[in-house]
Structure 1
Amino acid sequence: MLLDNHGRKINYLRLAVTDRCNLRCFYCMPEEGLDWLSRTELMSYEEILQTCTLLVKMGIDKIRITGGEPFVRKDIMQLLTTLSKLDGLNELTLTTNGVLTAPFVPELKKIGVRSVNLSLDTLDANRFFSITRRDEFASVMETLEMLLKHNIEVKINTVVMSGKNTQDIIPLVELTRVLPVSVRFIEEMPFNGDGHTHSGIAWNYVRIFEEMRHSFPAIQKISDPQFSTSYNYQIPGHKGTVGLIAAYSRTFCGSCNRIRITPQGVLKNCLYDDGVLNIKDLLRLSITEKELERTLLAALNTREKDGWQAERKRLENPASESMATIGG
């Protein structure tokens, strides 16, 4: 079992395989995109597999593949298939924007992927184009249909943004009436890739809940799974559930069980920290597995108490990078 310096269990790795994305969501990156990493700057699949194999031996039993958008990286299914066979890994899942995902759904089911997080900020095609700057709404909805057809659990992740999509909160909650999905509303975060710091949010998790309760007064709190980042609710008679993720308020830090590895191979103990270790560089120096294990354990023993403390330690480098460079 992996424990950090605060006694918290660490068993969940969020691994970004690319910084590239085929959407240009305004809250994540500038319209022209980012200065994409070159192939040599990314962790190779061999380096990813070497790292994951060691981390699973050390106690990681859940891996989520993120990006950028995972399916823009060539041969991603080959990596997923290999990872799915790791002895000791209990859960392999991924986060996707759904643009390219639909054709791969049967294969995801075959290798044992039981749950997928689908990023979807609106159910309106015009607002989708306004938010993402791409006309891909139909492709995303096709992916949603395919995931449900193959009985893969779907969590819809919606970033709530003032003046952009707050009118979609109720329609998305309505989606749970007929579909067995979990719609999770996420507070907007500072990771917009434009170099400007975040001054706070107008729509925090409390306000989002009040918006839901106004239209659905019978909404009920349900139990939250262990290590859950969301406060979870259900409306009587609905097939699905809704959740609130206080990603900016950071109310869930006390039970945090996750670490992140960016596309460049940088280990992040917290979404809000500036990175604590470059695993890729160590692997390219031919570090032994035992040495890497000791180095990882030392890095995991420096975790901050919460996201506020991690952000304060960044000093001259405030949190404003794109989420695509972090790994979701």
Structure 2
Amino acid sequence: MKLQFKTLQSLTLPNFGQRPLLLNITQTLLLLDNHGRKINYLRLAVTDRCNLRCFYCMPEEGLNWLARTELMTYEEMLQCCALLVKMGIEKIRITGGEPFVRKDLMKLLRALSKLDGLKELTLTTNGILTAPHVAELKRIGVRSVNLSLDTLDANRFFAITRRDEFAAVMATMQQLLKHDMEVKINTVVMAGKNIQDIIPLVELTKELPVSVRFIEEMPFNGDGHNYSGMVWDYVRILDEIRQAFPQIQKIADAQYSTSYNYQIPGHQGGVGIIAAYSRTFCGTCNRIRITPQGTLKNCLYDNGVLNIKDLMRSGMQATGLEQTLRLAFNTRQKDGWQAESNRMQHPNVHESMATIGG
């Protein structure tokens, strides 16, 4: 389904009492950073809250959740996204936390889907609250959904997430496939937790048109514990798959792909491996991130470069914000290793992925 766009002026959102941002800039077709890399992909986190407690993301008791006033409002998010699309952003992915934990998420998605110039709108979800919204997601033009799923075993799901929601996640996957949505399953590979799920997840691609992407575990656990390093890196993951499927074939990776992609002859779906900790894809990185509280991150591993929400609430207009953003994009680190080493406090990362936005 082709996205149908309207101008921002035709959109209606509730008045949150914020000073309107005047979007009077000329659209730029190419947005480059200081390393000559194209920036055309925004990952926008709408909340830090989640209805799971995955051990690799946060402590069992949860986090110190942000107060509502600390979050960007939907109006601010829409205005910010409209500006970034005019500057050259072509794809927006909604993340969290879990996006559907935030009330009225579909209102924001409807408005974003109408932004003139946006080519792709998608989201990453754990699937617990998603199933009732799949039909409308399809109607507004969302063609692809990333579904977080670390195991196909209900007991291991409970052990990893600390919640008994496996059935709800599988119901969402069924709805997505029923509505002919592109489904990408995101699986974090964890020693001693779900290694036995690697092959069953690959086998899932034989009968289902899904892409299973295995992700190196990252140190964003939110508990302040030191990260011991990579046990299952992308090379070892591939070796494990190849032992069971020696016929697996490397296929061409899409431009800006973060995954190494593979196909097994006779399988409807595909397999991807994301070197999230090894950071082998930094040289072609086209992504920026905005956290729920409005912090712009040029890299998953940096400490944030500015707070867009604060600038907007101070009264900064679109032209000033555009100039500020361009300056920020011209300070991007060469790769994730440099970004991590230049963090303001210390190089070890102790945030939660829920507060970063994935």
Give the alignment's TM-score, normalised by structure 1: 0.99
Letter in 1 for 2:357: G
Name the counterpart of 2:298.
269
2: CA distance, partners of 1:19 / 1:251: 27
Give the alignment's TM-score, normalised by structure 2: 0.91
2: CA distance, partners of 1:320 / 1:170: 31
Name the counterpart of 2:331.
302
1:316 to 345, 350, 354: 345
Deviations 1:259-318 (A, max 9, x none): 000001000000000000100000010101100000000000000000000000015243
Question: What is the deviation of 1:199?
Answer: 2.3
2:179 counterpart of 1:140: no
Deviations 1:123-159 (A, max 9, x none): 0000000000000000000000000000010000000
1: CA distance, partners of 2:229 / 2:31: 33
2:130 to 86, 101, 112: 101
2: CA distance, partners of 1:3 / 1:164: 40
Name the counterpart of 1:83.
112
2:102 counterpart of 1:73: yes
Alignment of 1:1-328 (within 5 A): 1-317=30-346, 318-328=348-358
Q: Secondary structure at the match of 1:10?
A: coil
Question: What is the deviation of 1:320?
Answer: 1.3
1: CA distance, partners of 2:345 / 2:88: 34
Question: What is the deviation of 1:74?
Answer: 0.4
CA contact (8 A) 2:303 2:344 kept: no
2: CA distance, partners of 1:204 / 1:309: 20
Spell out structure 1 runs of 4+ moving beyond 4 A: none
Quote the sequence identity (%). Answer: 79
1: CA distance, partners of 2:130 / 2:75: 23
1: CA distance, partners of 2:344 / 2:178: 48
2: CA distance, partners of 1:276 / 1:216: 44
RMSD over aligned CA atoms reads: 0.6
Deviations 1:198-254 (A, max 9, x none): 221110000000000000000000110000000000100000000000000000000
2: CA distance, partners of 1:226 / 1:277: 28
Q: Secondary structure at the match of 1:93?
A: strand
Question: What is the deviation of 1:197?
Answer: 2.9
2: CA distance, partners of 1:97 / 1:151: 19
**Which 5+ residue runs of structure 2 have no aligned equivalent?**
1-29
Question: What is the deviation of 1:195?
Answer: 1.1
Task: Count residues with an aligned counterpart.
Answer: 328
2: CA distance, partners of 1:91 / 1:257: 14
2: CA distance, partners of 1:50 / 1:248: 33
CA contact (8 A) 2:45 2:357 kept: yes
Q: Secondary structure at the match of 2:147?
A: strand
Q: Secondary structure at the match of 1:2?
A: coil
CA contact (8 A) 2:199 2:241 kept: yes
